[in-house]
Structures are given as C-alpha cells and as structure tokens.
A and B are shown apart, each in its own frame.
Chain A
Amino acid sequence: MSDQATARTVPQMITGRFQYDDAHTIERYEATEGYAALRKALQMHPEDVHAEIKEASLLGRGGAGFPAGVKWGFCPPGVWPRYFVVNGDESEPGTYKDRLLMERDPHQLIEGVLIGAYATGCAQAFLYVRGEMALAQERIAAALNEAYAAGLVGKDILGSSFSCDIVLHWGAGAYIVGEETALIESLEGNRGMPRLKPPYFPAAKGLYMQPTIVNNVETMANVPWIIRNGAEAYTAYGAESSRGTRMFAVSGHVKKPGVHEVEFGTTTFRDLIYGHCGGIRGNHTLKAFIPGGASAPWFYEEHLDLPLEAGAVGAAGSMLGSGAIVVMDETTDAVKAAWRVVRFFARESCGKCTPCREGTSWLEKVLRRMLDGQGRPEDIALLLDLCDNISPSIAWPPKQTTICPLGPSAVSPIASAIMRFKPEFQAYCGGGDVPTSVTINGKAYLPPEGAPAGV
C-alpha cells in the first residue's frame, strides 16, 4: 500500500490496519480507533448519521457507483421491517479488494454495517460473503463472535435502544449473485437469478419484498472513517464527483501487480500502472488494459492520463466498474484474451434470458473455433451479429435485451478487440473483413447499412 506517485499523500482510510498482522482481532481493532464511530453514531440521531453519509457523497464501490446516502433514502417511509444486506460476492474478473477487506479487517466492515443499519432503521443485517472465500468467512465469524460478546452487536447495542443482529451468510459459487436482485433471491434460498425490473431498487422492494439496502463491502468499510472524521474531512480528498479514496487492483503484465488505496478521481491510470506498479514488465510495451473489470470495454495507451473518475472514463467509452485494472502487453493475443473473457460470461449466464444464455455461448464457440484454426471469413460478421442481438447496435453504454447487464458485458471484449486489433481477427478468419464502421468514445460500431440480418 504505497502512496507515492499521486499528487499528494492521502490517508489510508480503509486499508490503514493492513500493516498489522492481527488487524482482524477485536483487540487490535479497538486499539486503532475501532468502534469509536459506532459510539459516536449512537449519540447522534439516525437522520443525522444518514445526512453525514449523504454529505460525504460516498459512491458505491461495487461497480455501478451509485451514491450510498441517496440509496439509503429510497426506503419507503413507514414500511417495516427493513433489512441491510452487504454484497461480499466479489467475483468480477480482475477484482481483488473486498476479499482483502473481509479477511484483514472484518471489524471495520461490521462497524460500517452497524452504523448503516442504525441510520436507516434496519432491524436485521446479512453479510453475504462469496462461497469460495473460506478465510473471509472464518475471520468474519470470529469477529462477529467477539463483537457479540462485547455487546457491540445484537440486542441493546452498547446499552442503547438500537438492536440489530448481523447474520453471516455465504454463497456457493455463482457470479450472477453479485447482481443485487439475484443476491436477494439467493438470500431467500432460491436460484440466483436477477429479478425483473421495476422495481429498480431493492430499497423499495427487496428481501421478502420488504425495503432492503444492498451495499458493497468496500462502500461499507468507508463508513466508520466518515463518521469518525466527518463528511467535511472526507470530501477534502478526491475529485468533486468522486470523494475519498478507492481501492484498485492492478493485475497482469506489470512489474509489481498489487492492490492500492489511492485518492479517488484524481489519480490517473498512468499513476497506478507506471507509478505504483512499476510499469510494464521486462522490455515490453502496453497493448491494452481493462479499466474496470471484465465487463468494461478496453482502454489503450491514449487513455493512460485519464483520471480514475466515473465521468471521465464513461465519456471515453468505458467504465470504472469494480476497480479492476488488467494490463496486457504486446505479447498478448487479442483474440485469445477476448475469448477468455467471453467464456467467463458464457459459463456464468444464469440462463434466464435467451439472448444472454444462447448468445454468450455462441460467441464463445465461434471464438474458440477461430483459435482452433477453423475460422471462416464470415465469422467476424457472425460475431458482430450475435453481439447486436444481445446488445442492440453494440453501443456504449450498452442497451440491453436482457434483464441484467451480464449478457451485454460479453460484448465489450469482442467489440474492443475487433475495433482495435482488426488484423488479428482477420488472420484467424482467413482474411475475412470486418463489416463495421467503428468509432471510439462510446458511440459504437454498427453493422453497415444493408448488411444481412443473419449471417
């Protein structure tokens, strides 16, 4: 967790305790300002706690980047009980931060959840941890047991009138459960399939059709710092639109892959890739990088100086997503990389919507055929036609023919790779042409006028 290469030193708001091997214990947590924020919050009126989070403009860190304080305000008045659910189902390829926060500093998460439940009037909270993360489950279970024993969770917390159980729950291997309505289905004991919208926000109708607030692990980890230090101190860091700090995982072909908590909205991709992570490995050069998890369209050399800020990244045709940057050097086969990302979505499609279920698996098969040396000149047109059926006109931000964004996510890597590395695709397809007019900046590439609908 180094802090050079950014414009100035910023506090490690959520990873500060990672320096201690015993950060997961209640002793270390309490010795490092732990549970001070909860005590402070309990002296405040719930509405004032909520207002503080709103003022801090804490953005959701799961992918969509929605302001947490605004989300909390969506619960319909007078409908009880309300539930608080934490999404710890981290599994977007390239993403590695929530697992660290859960394994290394579970009390910080618990404290954040307690404050959130207090502010919003939630009578019960559920921590939904990814099934594969055994150590995270173990650390959270131990931390909850310590916190219950210390009177910090459960009935009449710290002698106040605030009572809330936190139930540790875990999944069993399904990426789609990261989608909040699928997560709620899973928490109800069902297959993890996203719900039809509207209602758009579980805050209106969520778990058991009751008001439910779903927030990501990293989002909730920020809450104790904000309450301890105040919204004003928090908004002193970051850009106007993106306050505080944020964790980014930089993986792939860099000298020092790693996870860094940096100032949000002002740090650039270059700072992270070339500063914190030492640049491209060996004597290699940058070919492309994924800026925000596997679902995000790829970025290139010319995007390095963009700040890590949703608006700027969105305007340039991609997204900040889940804080996952995957770097590819010039030795990377673009078709192979696209196939690998597409295979993920094909495997993880829940099967509810036809364009996604059928489309992603056909995309995977066509790409696999190309890689196996069986590509045909018409394959590129076929890929784009499939993409167009999943996400009409292959635009960015994507249009959907599906209930959730998983299907359109599989379109991003293909669109990116064809757009930028056309000759590589042609080489796999016996020279077939790319029948597209391609523009960057999100506008998209459409099949040419008069192209046959099915190829």
Chain B
Amino acid sequence: MPRFTAENTILAKEIIGRYPHPKSALIPLLHLAQEQDGHLAEDAMVHIAELIDHTPAEVIGTASFYEMFKREPVGDYLVNVCTNIACMLMGGEELLHHLEDRLDIRPGSTTADGMFTLEDVECIAACTEAPCLTVNYRYFHKISTDEADQLLEDLRAGRRAHEIPKHGTLARVRQSIPADRRAGAAVPGECGQPVWMTPKDDPEDAPA
C-alpha cells in the first residue's frame, strides 16, 4: 500500500503549485497515484490528502465519483467496449459479447491471470468509427471480432507494449512549465487588474 515515491512527491508538489488552490490538483494527483500503482492505493490517497491539506475522506469523496479511478486492482489491460447508441447500431454489443466469450468473464471483472479487465462503457467519442474499443484508453476504431482476437493475442504476447502502456498511464508526455516562462497561478485576493487591460483611451499604457 504505497505512498508517492520521492520522485512523484516532487512532481505532485510541482502540479499543486500550478493551481490557485491546492485542492484543484486533486484529480491530477489521483491520476498520478494510479499511474504509479495501477490503481488507487489507500496510502497514496492519504498521502495526497496531506499534500493538499484536506482529509482522506474528502479525497475518497472525490475519487469515488469518477469511474476511471479504480480502488481495487484491475488487469494490466483495461478493455473498454462502447455499446452506446451509435456503436450499438453498428455491432458494439456483439463485439462485447464476443470478448466476454473469449476472455470468459463478464463486464466489470478481471481474468484469472490478471491480464484483462473488461468493461461495457458509454460513448467514447469515436461514434463514426463504430464499433470501437479502447485498451488502457488507446483507441481501436472499426474493429472486427477477428481483429479483436488478434489484439488480445498481441497483448498477451507483449507485442503492443510500446504503444499501450500499463493501466494508469494516460499521456506519456507531461506538461512542464519552465520556471523562467511561468506566469504563475492567479490566486484570488492576490491579483489586481492585469497590466494589459489598460483603458482604451490611455495611449501611454497601450499594450506593447
């Protein structure tokens, strides 16, 4: 049940510093914890509570609202099949049932080997590319049942590791704001009228 590593603690503090109020960093920090451990470990949530100066209950209160946050371990690969309206019309349900058969699990559960978790999800904004699914939030458009079988096989054999990181990692590129370019968080109570918002009739102070 790990807390943040030293490296992630530094990163977490840097993320908190971008926001006018520390609690705004909560969802990004929960993602960071999930990236570190594959799911949200309890101690990580306690650590986050300390970092943003709120109670662990408030952290869980937010985390439990959002379905991407997994408070129990899930498979290495989270396979999300869309069965919402556009996908339903184009075979999304058949695709889901096919994967249920292949993996021998129902949506919401994980294979015995801990490799796959299957989910029946709502629209993933790929409606014109139906039927579609994501694996750890990487998209596969217009995917046939044969292609889905091939995908499972590739994942088992580790052939997709370069394009699909383990569960918890979203963007593989992080935003980093260089110290010398940083404008800084706009904290209420500490900011007046921005300098470039000078009245229009004051040519002296016109923006450069």
- Give, as a whole number of angstroms, the nearest-CB distance from B70 to chain A: 10
* Closest chain B residue to A83, Cβ basis: B186
- Give, as a whole number of angstroms, the nearest-CB distance from B40 to chain A: 10
Whether the pair A93, B86 counts as a contact (CB closer than 8 A) is: yes
- Known: A190-B62, A290-B85. Is A172-B30 also a contact (CB below 8 A)? yes
Q: Which residues of B contact A250 (CB under 8 A)?
A: 128
- Known: A80-B191, A124-B186, A290-B85. Is A170-B31 also a contact (CB below 8 A)? yes
CA distance A161 to B123 in the complex (A): 43
- Give, as a whole number of angstroms, the nearest-CB distance from B94 to chain A: 14
Whether the pair B128, A132 counts as a contact (CB closer than 8 A) is: no
- Give, as a whole number of angstroms, the nearest-CB distance from B85 to chain A: 5
- Known: A188-B23, A251-B128. Is A134-B137 also a contact (CB below 8 A)? yes
Would you list which residues of chain B between 147 and 198 have a CB under 8 Å from chain A? 170-178, 180-188, 191-197
How does the 8 Å CB contact mask read for B64-89 relative to A, with 1 for contact and 0 for none? 01111100000000001001111011
- Give, as a whole number of angstroms, the nearest-CB distance from A173 to chain B: 4
Q: Which candidate, A55-63, A64-72, A341-349, A377-385, is the interface stretch facing chain B?
A: A341-349
Q: Which residues of A contact B18 (CB under 8 A)?
A: 165, 167
CA distance A83 to B186 in the complex (A): 8
- Report the interface size for chain A: residues with CB under 8 A from the other chain: 89
Instruction: Tell me if A208 counts as interface (CB < 8 A to partner B).
Output: yes
CA distance A160 to B206 in the complex (A): 10
CA distance A42 to B196 in the complex (A): 10
* Closest chain B residue to A192, Cβ basis: B65
Whether the pair A141, B208 counts as a contact (CB closer than 8 A) is: no
Q: Which residues of B contact A189 (CB under 8 A)?
A: 21, 23-27, 52, 62
Instruction: Tell me if A81 counts as interface (CB < 8 A to partner B).
Output: yes
Q: Which residues of A contact B196 (CB under 8 A)?
A: 46, 118, 121, 160-163
Whether the pair A142, B122 counts as a contact (CB closer than 8 A) is: no
Whether the pair A253, B178 counts as a contact (CB closer than 8 A) is: no
Whether the pair A169, B192 counts as a contact (CB closer than 8 A) is: no
CA distance A118 to B61 in the complex (A): 36
Whether the pair A163, B193 counts as a contact (CB closer than 8 A) is: no
- Give, as a whole number of angstroms, the nearest-CB distance from A104 to chain B: 13
Of the residues A83, A93, A123, A162, contact of B85 by C-beta under 8 Å = A93
- Report the interface size for chain B: residues with CB under 8 A from the other chain: 71
Instruction: Tell me if A111 counts as interface (CB < 8 A to partner B).
Output: no
Q: Which residues of B contact A187 (CB under 8 A)?
A: 24
Whether the pair B21, A188 counts as a contact (CB closer than 8 A) is: yes
Instruction: Tell me if A105 counts as interface (CB < 8 A to partner B).
Output: no
Instruction: Tell me if A392 counts as interface (CB < 8 A to partner B).
Output: no
Whether the pair B185, A94 counts as a contact (CB closer than 8 A) is: no
Whether the pair B195, A161 counts as a contact (CB closer than 8 A) is: yes
- Known: A45-B207, A167-B18, A169-B27. Is A96-B183 also a contact (CB below 8 A)? no
- Give, as a whole number of angstroms, the nearest-CB distance from A291 to chain B: 13
Instruction: Tell me if A191 counts as interface (CB < 8 A to partner B).
Output: yes
Whether the pair B52, A145 counts as a contact (CB closer than 8 A) is: no
Instruction: Tell me if A154 counts as interface (CB < 8 A to partner B).
Output: yes
Instruction: Tell me if A95 counts as interface (CB < 8 A to partner B).
Output: yes
Would you list which residues of chain A between 141 and 159 have a CB under 8 Å from chain B? 141-142, 144-145, 148-149, 151, 153-155, 159
Of the residues B26, B68, B129, B174, contact of A257 by C-beta under 8 Å = B129
Instruction: Tell me if A450 counts as interface (CB < 8 A to partner B).
Output: no
Whether the pair A160, B171 counts as a contact (CB closer than 8 A) is: no
Most-contacted residue by chain B among A78, A149, A169 (CB, 10 A): A169
Residue pairs across A and B with Cβ atoms less than 8 A apart, 12 shown, are A78-B193, A94-B123, A124-B20, A124-B185, A162-B207, A165-B177, A165-B185, A170-B31, A252-B89, A252-B90, A290-B85, A326-B86
- What 9 A-B pairs are tightest by C-beta distance, nearest first? A172-B66, A189-B26, A189-B23, A81-B186, A123-B186, A137-B171, A251-B86, A173-B68, A154-B181
